[in-house]
Structure 1
Amino acid sequence: MSDIPDDCARDDEPPADGQFVYDLDSDCTLEDVEENKPYIGRVNGVVDYGVFVDLSDHVAGLVHESNLRGEYEVDDELIVELDTVRENGDVSFRELDLAEYSVVEADSDDYAVAADLEDAVGESVRLEGLVSQIKQTGGPTVFQVRDESGVVACAAFEEAGVRAYPGIELDDPVRVTGRVETREGAIQVEVDDIEALDDAAAADVHERVAAAIEERATPHEVEPLVEWPAFEPLREDLRTVARRLRRTVLEGRPIRVRHHADGDGLCASVPVQLALERFVESVYADGDAARHLLKRLPSKAPFYEMEDVTRDLNHALEDRSRHGQKLPLLLMLDNGSTEEDTPAYRNLAHYDIPIVVVDHHHPDPEAVGELVEEHVNPYLHGEDYRITTGMLCVELARMIDPSITEEVRHVPAVAGLSDRSEADAMTDYVALAADEGYDEDDLRDIGEALDYATFWLKYSAGRELIEDVLNVDCDDRERHERLVDFLASRAERDVDRQLDAAMAHTEHERLDNGAHLYRIDVENYAHRFTYPAPGKTTGEIHDRKVEETGDPVITIGYGPDFAVLRSDGVRLDIPEMVAELTEEVEGGGVSGGGHLVVGSTKFVSGMREEVLDALVEKMADAEIDEDLHSSATAIDPSD
């Protein structure tokens, strides 16, 4: 015998001559024991038919009396070699009689990695990594352990519902020894032992995992779906966000996605959710990991309300307490850029919850800048709302996981039409969707169906329904088409009913700048608590008046303490107007925001007339801008 076992590392070089006997490290398993090689065994029990010996903490077996050469007591040492390994896992050894030998201490360096465990089911393995989650179930304690290749669940049992290895904490570097099994279709290590590492071993694990995360967090290089110079300055910002999101998954931190509850918000959030889920599946052995790590929820308001943040924070703290999860990263999509978001952000700051924003609404960078870690917004690069969040997030999703590309090629066109984008690239996006079998009417119907479904879903994400409507990760194109036709038809019917009641109560005046102003009291002259909501009702009235007049049009839909604003062919700069009203109307309690041509404002009900009068004065002074007229940017289907 002249070699140390291939999967064990020698601590001390033995002499060139003489017999080697191997003293296994406590972490060695049966995988490290080879036939016809001698090992030191320590007696742990004496019975009538032989003795039981330990070769390590994980290797033990019987030396039958027929294979013994002497008599032994507990804690005596003897030299043995492997005899048999039975199908049930029982191991037997036979004693060797060696006159002279040299002892070699052997540490196992045959460490498995999480990504390869599917091929090791039924085998004993060792792996090293960082603890990313500790979940106490009614049975075992489940440690999610992250190494350089992925994340695997390691189940340790003390007794039912009792925390195993209480000294092990989140982010500890550990060495796990156990047997690979499948539980409910997922790979899991049944733990024999977990050891917290320190000093050089801990530093090595940290270094290996950090290097792997850094490499794997790198987003994919993808060509944009359409060539669009206005989009180019935003690509590096999106790459930074893609890297941050991939890193968050690799670090075992959950991601909570909040998005505006409209067509553009859904076109932004659904592709990103799908891309992240597929990335999670490539990292985690647990098939349910995506469900635990990713949550997508709509926000009805055009900002992050205290109600929403309180719910999110409460759920996050409960998940940390009950399931051992880290606190999440908040990803704001098609929302989150304004001063109105800052109270919610400051609430999250008490718990150091990171915030990432991808949005196209007019931002308040001075207000939100210090509260968010990444902020992607076309206004920050001299562009505007015409680059919709859905357009941005389709590219973001492709950077996270380019495999979704074929499923989302039509989505930017849906986003643009839903949000009335007048971008130069809309013609190219519509043509791209046409290649996938969608004409412009189809795309508009998808947008209407999304709005209609979202209205009735209220605060629910409606995962499967929304994916079928958008035809992303949908397995039945015909069902998608039937569903969209049904929902869009219902939406059209309900809009017609609403406008039949409301149009007669629309007030009209001609402003000094030549624009038509239409006002409608949606609280008293439109159906409440049904589709369409006040914002949608105002938008539909506005669209009809634009088509009817062919001139610049402004429409205000108001209630007791709010107003929804739409304009066409008039450069309103609604965020600036709202900011001015906040200062000028004393006691008005004015807040709000939006784009140049779409927005909303809130105020105290007792000051409604003063706020609306001041708002109309500003509208009368606004510049007429033909570039903002819908007829100037209409999409020609023949292009």
Structure 2
Amino acid sequence: MPPSRVSITIVYDLAPNCTMDDVEIGEHYHATVNGVVDYGVFVDLSDNLSGLVHESKLLDEYEYGDSLIVELDEILDNGDLSFSEAQPTEYRTDVVEPGQLITATDLDNNIGDPVHFVGEVIQIRQTSGPTIFQVRDEVGVVPCAGFEEAGVRAYPEYEIGDIVRVSGTVEQHDGGKQLEIDQLEPVPNAEEMRTQISESLDAVAEPNEIEPLVDWPELDTILSDLSDVAKTLRRAVLDGRPIRIRHHADGDGMCASIPLQLALERFIEERYETPEASEYLLRRLPSKAPFYEMEDVTRDLNHSLSDRDRHGQKLPLFLMLDNGSTEEDTPAYRTLAEYDIPIVVVDHHHPDPEAVEPLVTQHVNPYLHGEDYRVTTGMMSTELARMIDPDLTTDLKHVPAVAGLCDRSRADAMDAYLSLASDAGYDESDIEDIGEALDYAAFWLRYDDGNSFVNDVLDVGCDDSDRHAELVSFLADRAERDRNRQLDVTLSHTDHEQLDNGAHLYRIDVERHAHRFTYPAPGKTTGAVHDEMVTKHDGDPVITIGYGPDFAVLRSDGVRLDIPEMVSSLADEYPEAGVSGGGHLVVGSIKFVSGQRQTVFDALVEKMADADIDEQLRSTLL
């Protein structure tokens, strides 16, 4: 359950025509003395409401016409009202017209009734009919419909950020409820109200406290950072700020983004009355590269500016998952910075904090805590999703194991994650097949998020277990078929040499000796060749390079390459080669200009020959 909101006394100032329907026992009201007797004072709350404050419940002496604050203690059977005097040290005044003052959670109980609602405008959307004001209070968001001529902006004097009082009637609309506006007016104590709402929403935004799925010290060091991110995301939802999830389009990236998308959708549904709120507040966007490309940011920014202009939305928060930690991301980040768009990063690629952190709001990465890529983004995001919605825990127990096998994590916790998945009904072969199916689906989806389809593959939010099993079996079988077909044509063209440090080096030109524009892509093809060679050499250190005219994909087992460091060194040593890239210690990629390929390769192989052999970096093949 979300934390309770911050308490402050509300004192109601009733309009002259308010009646008994507008008061409630236990609430506080502004009153005026209309008579003084030996046993107390009579007070008026409105033209239609009066009652007695007994002398035993008075804190001061009063004369006719004096003002005081009273609390309604009792409504007697004959309709008389009994009050006690109150002197709150901190309060705000809310004016009450006829009809009940409600919060965002009270719509269901007031359908067809005249009500009042006070809050902050967080979105203004003009439809072909009414103008829809999304107004939030301390507990949720209410759609308020203002009517003029069809398609004409109602109440044009109000803008996003204004504190308003909405009077109208609660009506059913398109599967939800909305407040149809009779009157929209400013609130006299707007800044006080704004502060109160903000403080209350800060409390609501606090993430749920959870116990990690497994006992793993390497992950524990990151939980505090993840909790901060969970609060940022929950607060963005409450602020009406859209969230755009940018994730690497591979198994780990999907294991990171799909649970988080589902958790945020549930939180949005809990806090917004509009049924389609998650459609405009949340979007998941896969990236083919493991970094945020200029192609991606220009498309995202164009859509965001269009949504702001057409639908009255705030500019979004960008959440980068399984990407976003490297210098390659910074051109895109600088573009977003021109519009003050916040960026949050949760990633496990080797980071460049000096380049990235001045441009992002939050940056979570195991390397920043002395850990490494073995803590995958999917593992971190599973805990992040549970902080947002702990009710998802049962549905997510297998996800960290899928993420770990997809990214070949050698973490000590992998056995614990596999055991957790087994308890949830997934054996290791099931986990392997889910990961293979996700990678296969991601390849064919390209820039499409595959929403619902990939949920069924990962079995998160899937409502049909048979469909999940059939999908995974089909996609995993197709992936294996296509991978074997690729190996049939590539293995015979793979060159071998043994380096001075004893490592076996294999090279394959994936541009000339592999099927193009089909699964598996160059990186996956290189990985498949590498697996074959690791098996062939039965424990000896192996490095595999899959290359094209201007790129190389690297895989290694048993050799501490430190690919990000190698890329950085090559870029410094050969500036004319235009070297860039990165990745993990033993998995990564390099780009360069095609005319310098041989120079880069010679230097790269020389660095590989000098690398240390490390038994702990051997992988368990999928």
**CA distance in structure 2 between the partners assigned to 1:586 and 1:223 by the alignment:** 48
* 1:169 corresponds to: 159
- Cα 1:422–1:19 change in 2 (3 A) is closer
* 1:611 corresponds to: 600
Deviations 1:168-187 (A, max 9, x none): 00010000011101111111
Aligned length: 553
* 1:93 corresponds to: none
Give unmatched runs, 5+ long, in structure 2.
1-17, 24-28, 52-93
Amino acid corresponding to residue 231 of structure 1 in structure 2 = L
SS class of match (1:15) = strand
* 1:13 corresponds to: 33
One of 496, 499, 504 as aligned partner of 1:516: 504
* Structure 1 residue 15 displacement after superposition: 3.0
- For 1:27-176, list aligned pairs within 5 A: 107-108=96-97, 110-176=100-166
* Structure 1 residue 6 displacement after superposition: 7.1
Q: Are 2:421 and 1:401 aligned?
A: no
- For 1:363-442, list aligned pairs within 5 A: 363-442=351-430
* 1:500 corresponds to: 488
* 1:85 corresponds to: none
**CA distance in structure 1 between the partners assigned to 2:420 and 2:46 by the alignment:** 67
One of 537, 561, 569 as aligned partner of 1:572: 561
Deviations 1:488-539 (A, max 9, x none): 0000000011110111100100001000000000000000000000000000
SS class of match (2:33) = coil
One of 171, 175, 178 as aligned partner of 1:188: 178
Deviations 1:359-394 (A, max 9, x none): 000000000011111110000000000000000000
* 2:243 corresponds to: 255
- For 1:273-288, list aligned pairs within 5 A: 273-288=261-276
Amino acid corresponding to residue 284 of structure 1 in structure 2 = Y
Q: Normalising by the residue count of structure 2, what TM-score does the alignment of the two structures yield? A: 0.86
Larger Rg: 1
- For 1:343-358, list aligned pairs within 5 A: 343-358=331-346
**CA distance in structure 2 between the partners assigned to 1:188 and 1:308 by the alignment:** 36
* Structure 1 residue 134 displacement after superposition: 0.2
* Structure 1 residue 437 displacement after superposition: 1.2
- Is contact 2:126-2:132 (8 Å) kept? yes
- For 1:620-631, list aligned pairs within 5 A: 620-630=609-619
Moved more, 600-609 or 201-210: 201-210
- Cα 1:597–1:21 change in 2 (3 A) is closer
Deviations 1:424-482 (A, max 9, x none): 00000000000111111110100000001111101000011100000000001111011
**CA distance in structure 1 between the partners assigned to 2:172 and 2:22 by the alignment:** 25
- Is contact 1:398-1:405 (8 Å) kept? yes
Deviations 1:594-622 (A, max 9, x none): 00000001111111111111111111100
* Displaced runs of 4 or more, over 4 A: 3-6, 17-24, 33-36, 105-110
One of 285, 292, 296 as aligned partner of 1:297: 285
- Cα 1:179–1:409 change in 2 (3 A) is same
Q: Are 2:589 and 1:600 aligned?
A: yes
- Is contact 2:36-2:42 (8 Å) kept? no
**CA distance in structure 2 between the partners assigned to 1:106 and 1:622 by the alignment:** 74
* Structure 1 residue 329 displacement after superposition: 0.3
* 1:70 corresponds to: none
Moved more, 149-158 or 109-118: 109-118
SS class of match (2:466) = helix
**CA distance in structure 1 between the partners assigned to 2:516 and 2:458 by the alignment:** 27
Deviations 1:203-260 (A, max 9, x none): 2321221121111011001100000011111010000000111111111100000000
- Cα 1:225–1:564 change in 2 (3 A) is same
One of 578, 585, 590 as aligned partner of 2:574: 585
**CA distance in structure 2 between the partners assigned to 1:13 and 1:271 by the alignment:** 59
- Is contact 2:35-2:42 (8 Å) kept? no
* Structure 1 residue 111 displacement after superposition: 1.6
Deviations 1:110-133 (A, max 9, x none): 421011111111111100000000
Matched-pair identity in %: 63
Amino acid corresponding to residue 329 of structure 1 in structure 2 = L
* Structure 1 residue 149 displacement after superposition: 1.3
Q: Are 2:473 and 1:475 aligned?
A: no
SS class of match (1:627) = helix
* Structure 1 residue 16 displacement after superposition: 3.6
SS class of match (2:575) = coil
* 1:554 corresponds to: 543
- Cα 1:447–1:19 change in 2 (3 A) is closer
- Tell me the C-alpha RMSD between the 2 structures: 2.0
Deviations 1:54-109 (A, max 9, x none): xxxxxxxxxxxxxxxxxxxxxxxxxxxxxxxxxxxxxxxxxxxxxxxxxxx98449
Amino acid corresponding to residue 128 of structure 2 in structure 1 = G
* 1:528 corresponds to: 516
**CA distance in structure 2 between the partners assigned to 1:11 and 1:324 by the alignment:** 41
* 2:6 corresponds to: none
